[in-house]
């Protein structure tokens, strides 16, 4: 659809899409793809950023839940702390203080140890039995569960920096949001061509056409930002400044796309008659993961803007 | 560093066969940056932000002539228009370096990016060879006369007529909202050679001199105080045959190519100025939190534009997809100026002190969803030609 096609990336998407379709579970598809090698584990440089992105776009597109996003985020943190990352580690997508306990949301499919932002601001490593399942609440059947960290838990503080892990998680979430946005737009365009009211397809009404055109602009912008990350040549991939901005664009624009495409789908968009509601909940959860577009917007304004170089960081050379 | 052209002209015949290292974009970037450092003092007076149009025009032309003389402004263009080779990325690198060093918007020269590729492909060789180098050197300016009072978004309904006569055509009609017409030497005019019923199929593009008999450019005062826009009156103006751009009746294709370039590659030049403003607003007016949204918009626009330029470098020609760039650009510019306006409050509203420049920029930004095809036209293009609705 877009003119600036990254052929390599499109090819990766196709093979990953095929793997997800053929295998019976996300885990077996990812295993077939040797995903842990693709995402570089805890290495500073990811060997194949195009495949890294494609895995997550396809997960978003097909609403697939795996532990991949949590694992790519946790791995650099665990590695920086001098330990060996494993594919079952995961990074809490978000955490918040409730009374004297911490609530963390964790990917549903993860089984291993959880890295979260601890009370002191340093990353901490938790085991699943330290998380109180009694308080577990599914925030999104497709994605994550919220757990409360037991009050009596003694946490294992990690001496690693969060930057690279957060950057990887943000990029993964941005690609999932790209998959979500692309899919809901395709669905809505199809619907606008088929659904007839007042004797003609609703896609002939300018109000509807413009909402879909706006959605296309918003989702194209996510794609362009995501492709710029793939092309980023930073020795520690991805550049955290870049990841922060890409995630902010992806979260904000995906919300915009869902708002408009939901409107085009009409009443069924907020019922279980149509899968749209699942994409909407997925996008909300993804936007909140590793910093929402609003939080990141504030962070960009406070930290990136005063540093003139950051504004120009991505460009023709990257 | 003044030997760039000297080495190009190749006094040594053996050296001429070597590949010019500056054709590599990275090498060009580094050499240009080094040159700027060396020449900083001699061109510093051209780094003035806001000035009356006449002064601005002199400065941008002087800067262009210096850049041309040293060869920098000749890279990115082919030999058919007097260039030294290389592609759009060379041009983009030069625009970025200029913007980051605080040189003001290039005003009428911004149109080179849009018009020169079309001239290179379609202008009669005899005219092209002397005319286009004059444009690239800043010696002469070219504007573009498309819109009319009854033909804005509906360009295909334009009424300016071109009637064949004595080895040429006679033009009759009035163009409106013609950017830089009073400052320009030439104009690319779109006129009707066919019947009204033929609509866009009966159009032809011409390049005319603005000092020819029967040709008159008049300024239109704008809300922001500038007189960039103008009116072009054509009263039985004779145009010789060799000034037809492309084929008679092929004007619509030329116009579409120009508009796609205006929507696609132009966004790169424009976004550089917006990034400069974003930097200055961080210090001057808006509280930082307010700049979060425009900063995100501009980041997305920059990613989009960079990728578009790379695609053009690889042979892609902007088409309907360029409407996305245009919508992103217009949205980013208006959101940025909205944030600045909200932060500046009274100074801007009354045009006081430093608020006067900001107010002018704010008012000018209201036009970005109109010029070059309105936002609504862009959305129609996306809906119909990209989404297939």
- Alpha carbon of A210: minimum distance to chain B alpha carbons (Å): 6
- Classify strands A196-197 and A200-201 as parallel, antiparallel or unpaired: antiparallel
Q: Given this model, what pLDDT does residue B346 score?
A: 58
Q: Given this model, what pLDDT does residue A134 score?
A: 60
**Best residue of B275, B296, B342 to probe chain A, by most A CBs closer than 10 Å:** B296
Q: Which residues of chain A have a CB within 8 Å of the CB of B288? A: 301-302, 305-306
Whether B311 sits inside 8 A of A298 (CB atoms) is no
pLDDT at residue B344 is higher than 90:
no
- Alpha carbon of B350: minimum distance to chain A alpha carbons (Å): 27
**Integer CA distances (angstroms), A90 to A134, A141, A247, B95, in order:** 20, 18, 19, 45
Q: Given this model, what pLDDT does residue B199 score?
A: 86
Q: What is the dihedral of CA A176, A179, A181, A184, to 10 degrees?
A: -130
**Contact criterion met (CB below 8 Å) for A278 and A63:** yes
Tell me the C-alpha distance between A16 and A23, whole Å.
Answer: 11
Q: Given this model, what pLDDT does residue B7 score?
A: 43
Tell me the C-alpha distance between B386 and A216, whole Å.
Answer: 9
Question: Is the pTM here over 0.90, yes or no?
Answer: yes
The reply to whether B299 touches chain A by the CB within 8 Å rule is yes
Tell me the C-alpha distance between B381 and A278, whole Å.
Answer: 30
Q: Count H helices and E strands in chain B, helices first.
A: 14, 8
| pLDDT, average across residues A47-66 | 93
Chain centroid to Cα B29, Å, comes to 22
Per-residue pLDDT band for B349 (boundaries 50, 70, 90) equals low
- Per-residue pLDDT tens over the stretch A167-185: 999 999 999 999 999 999 9
Q: Which of A198-212, B142-156, B248-262 has the highest mean pLDDT?
A: A198-212
By percentage, how much of chain A surpasses pLDDT 70? 91
Q: How many CB pairs under 8 A join A and B?
A: 139
Closest CA to A244 of A283, A282, A285, A294: A294
- Alpha carbon of B299: minimum distance to chain A alpha carbons (Å): 7
Whether B303 sits inside 8 A of A300 (CB atoms) is no
Tell me the C-alpha distance between B304 and B112, whole Å.
Answer: 21
The reply to whether B342 touches chain A by the CB within 8 Å rule is no
| pLDDT, average across residues A153-169 | 82
Closest CA to B322 of B366, B274, B368, B268: B268
- Classify strands A196-197 and B161-165 as parallel, antiparallel or unpaired: unpaired
Largest CA distance in chain B: 66
Top-confidence residue, B108 or A189: A189
Top-confidence residue, B179 or A145: B179
Name A67's Cβ contacts closer than 8 Å, sequence gap at least 6: A27, A87, A88, A90, A107, A109, A110, A111, A112
Phi/psi at A2 (nearest 5 deg)? -95, 150
Whether A3 sits inside 8 A of B321 (CB atoms) is yes
- Per-residue pLDDT tens over the stretch B199-236: 889 999 999 999 999 999 999 988 888 878 899 999 99
Q: Among A3, A204, A304, whose Cβ lies nearest the Cβ of B316?
A: A3
**Integer CA distances (angstroms), A208 to A193, A215, A252, B387, B388, in order:** 11, 11, 21, 12, 13
Q: Given this model, what pLDDT does residue B12 score?
A: 47
Per-residue pLDDT band for B11 (boundaries 50, 70, 90) equals very low
Whether A227 sits inside 8 A of B307 (CB atoms) is yes
Q: Among B92, B296, B389, whose Cβ lies nearest the Cβ of A192?
A: B389
Q: Given this model, what pLDDT does residue A138 score?
A: 62
Mean pLDDT of chain A: 88
- Alpha carbon of B199: minimum distance to chain A alpha carbons (Å): 23
Q: Among B307, B309, B389, whose Cβ lies nearest the Cβ of A228?
A: B307
Q: What is the ipTM of this complex?
A: 0.93
- Alpha carbon of A305: minimum distance to chain B alpha carbons (Å): 7
Q: Given this model, what pLDDT does residue B10 score?
A: 41
**Best residue of B335, B383, B388 to probe chain A, by most A CBs closer than 10 Å:** B383
The reply to whether B83 touches chain A by the CB within 8 Å rule is no
pLDDT at residue B122 is higher than 60:
yes
Point out which residues pair with B170 in neighbouring strands.
Answer: B163, B238
Q: Among A209, A224, A293, whose Cβ lies nearest the Cβ of B379?
A: A209
**Integer CA distances (angstroms), B273 to B270, B326, B329, in order:** 5, 15, 11
**Best residue of B307, B326, B384 to probe chain A, by most A CBs closer than 10 Å:** B307
Q: Could you tell me the end-to-end alpha-carbon distance of chain A, in angstroms, rounded to an integer?
A: 23
Whether B306 sits inside 8 A of A206 (CB atoms) is no
By percentage, how much of chain B surpasses pLDDT 90? 66
Q: Given this model, what pLDDT does residue B374 score?
A: 93
| pLDDT, average across residues B241-256 | 96
Whether A316 sits inside 8 A of B89 (CB atoms) is yes
- Per-residue pLDDT tens over the stretch A183-236: 999 999 999 999 999 999 999 999 999 999 999 999 999 999 999 999 998 889
Whether A3 sits inside 8 A of B319 (CB atoms) is yes
pLDDT at residue A160 is higher than 80:
no
- Per-residue pLDDT tens over the stretch B13-60: 444 568 999 999 999 999 999 999 998 888 988 887 677 888 888 999
Q: Which chain B residue shows the shortest CA-CA distance from A307?
A: B279
Q: Given this model, what pLDDT does residue A249 score?
A: 98
Top-confidence residue, B4 or A316: A316
The reply to whether B386 touches chain A by the CB within 8 Å rule is yes
Per-residue pLDDT band for A311 (boundaries 50, 70, 90) equals confident
pLDDT at residue B8 is higher than 50:
no
Per-residue pLDDT band for B1 (boundaries 50, 70, 90) equals very low
- Per-residue pLDDT tens over the stretch B292-333: 999 999 999 999 999 999 999 988 888 899 999 999 999 999
Whether A216 sits inside 8 A of B303 (CB atoms) is no
Tell me the C-alpha distance between A164 and A85, whole Å.
Answer: 14
Mean pLDDT of chain B: 89
Query: Residue B177: exposed, middle, or buried by beta-carbon count in 10 A (0-12, 13-18, 19+)?
Result: buried
Mark which residues 98-117 of B lie under 8 Å from A by CB.
Answer: 100
Q: Among B275, B310, B380, whose Cβ lies nearest the Cβ of A311?
A: B275
Q: Given this model, what pLDDT does residue B13 score?
A: 45
Q: Given this model, what pLDDT does residue A304 score?
A: 87
Top-confidence residue, B75 or A25: B75
pLDDT at residue B2 is higher than 70:
no
């Amino acid at each position: 659809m877009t003119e600036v096609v990254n052929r390599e990336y499109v090819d990766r998407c196709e093979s990953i899409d095929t793997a997800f379709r053929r295998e019976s579970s996300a885990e077996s598809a990812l295993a077939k793809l040797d995903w842990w090698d693709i995402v570089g584990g805890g290495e500073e440089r990811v060997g194949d950023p195009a495949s890294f992105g494609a895995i997550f776009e396809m997960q978003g597109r097909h609403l697939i839940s795996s532990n991949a996003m949590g694992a790519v985020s946790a791995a650099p943190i665990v590695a920086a702390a001098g330990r060996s990352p494993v594919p079952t580690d995961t990074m809490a997508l978000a955490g918040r203080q409730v009374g004297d306990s911490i609530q963390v949301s964790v990917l549903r499919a993860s089984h291993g140890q959880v890295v979260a932002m601890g009370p002191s601001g340093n990353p901490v490593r938790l085991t699943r039995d330290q998380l109180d399942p009694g308080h577990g609440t599914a925030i999104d059947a497709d994605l994550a569960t919220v757990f409360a960290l037991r009050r009596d838990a003694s946490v294992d503080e990690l001496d690693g920096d969060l930057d690279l892990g957060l950057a990887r998680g943000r990029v993964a979430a941005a690609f999932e949001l790209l998959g979500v946005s692309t899919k809901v737009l395709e669905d809505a365009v199809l619907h606008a061509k088929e659904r007839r009211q007042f004797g003609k397809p609703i896609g002939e009404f300018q109000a509807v056409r413009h909402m879909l055109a706006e959605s296309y602009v918003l989702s194209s912008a996510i794609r362009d930002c995501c492709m710029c990350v793939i092309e980023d040549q930073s020795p520690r991939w991805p550049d955290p400044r870049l990841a922060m901005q890409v995630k902010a664009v992806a979260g904000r624009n995906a919300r915009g796309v869902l708002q408009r495409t939901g409107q085009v789908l009409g009443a069924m968009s907020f019922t279980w008659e149509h899968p749209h509601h699942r994409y909407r909940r997925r996008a909300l959860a993804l936007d909140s993961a590793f910093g929402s577009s609003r939080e990141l917007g504030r962070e960009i304004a406070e930290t990136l803007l005063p540093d003139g170089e950051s504004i120009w960081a991505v460009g023709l050379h990257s | 560093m003044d030997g760039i052209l000297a080495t190009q002209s190749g006094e040594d015949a053996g050296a001429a066969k070597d590949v010019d290292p500056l054709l590599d974009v990275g090498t060009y970037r580094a050499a240009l940056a080094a040159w700027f450092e060396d020449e900083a003092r001699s061109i510093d007076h051209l780094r003035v932000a806001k000035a009356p149009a006449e002064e601005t025009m002199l400065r941008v032309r002087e800067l262009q002539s210096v850049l041309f003389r040293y060869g920098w402004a000749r890279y990115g263009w082919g030999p058919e228009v007097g260039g030294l080779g290389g592609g759009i990325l060379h041009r983009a690198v030069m625009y970025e370096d200029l913007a980051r060093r605080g040189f003001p918007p290039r005003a009428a020269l911004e149109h080179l990016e849009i018009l020169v590729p079309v001239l290179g492909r379609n202008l009669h060789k005899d005219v092209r060879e002397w005319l286009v180098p004059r444009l690239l050197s800043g010696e002469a300016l070219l504007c573009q006369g498309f819109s009319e009072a009854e033909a804005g978004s509906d360009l295909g309904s334009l009424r300016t007529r071109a009637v064949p006569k004595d080895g040429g055509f006679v033009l009759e009609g009035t163009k409106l909202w013609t950017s830089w017409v009073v400052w320009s030497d030439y104009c690319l005019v779109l006129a009707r050679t066919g019947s009204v019923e033929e609509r866009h199929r009966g159009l032809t593009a011409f390049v005319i001199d603005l000092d020819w008999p029967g040709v008159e450019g008049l300024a239109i005062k704008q809300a922001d105080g500038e007189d960039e826009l103008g009116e072009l009156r054509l009263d039985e103006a004779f145009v010789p045959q060799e000034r037809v751009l492309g084929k008679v009746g092929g004007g619509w294709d030329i116009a579409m190519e120009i508009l796609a370039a205006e929507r696609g590659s132009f966004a790169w030049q424009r976004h550089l100025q917006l990034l400069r403003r974003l930097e200055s607003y961080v210090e001057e007016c808006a509280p930082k939190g307010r700049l979060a949204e425009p900063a995100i918009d501009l980041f997305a626009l920059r990613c989009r534009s960079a990728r578009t330029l790379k695609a053009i470098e690889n042979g892609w020609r902007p088409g309907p997809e360029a409407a996305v760039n245009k919508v992103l650009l217009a949205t980013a510019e208006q959101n940025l100026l909205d944030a600045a306006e909200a932060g500046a409050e009274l100074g801007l509203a009354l045009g006081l002190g430093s608020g006067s420049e900001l107010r002018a920029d704010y008012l000018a930004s209201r036009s970005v969803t109109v010029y070059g095809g309105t936002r609504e036209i862009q959305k129609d293009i996306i809906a119909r030609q990209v989404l297939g609705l």
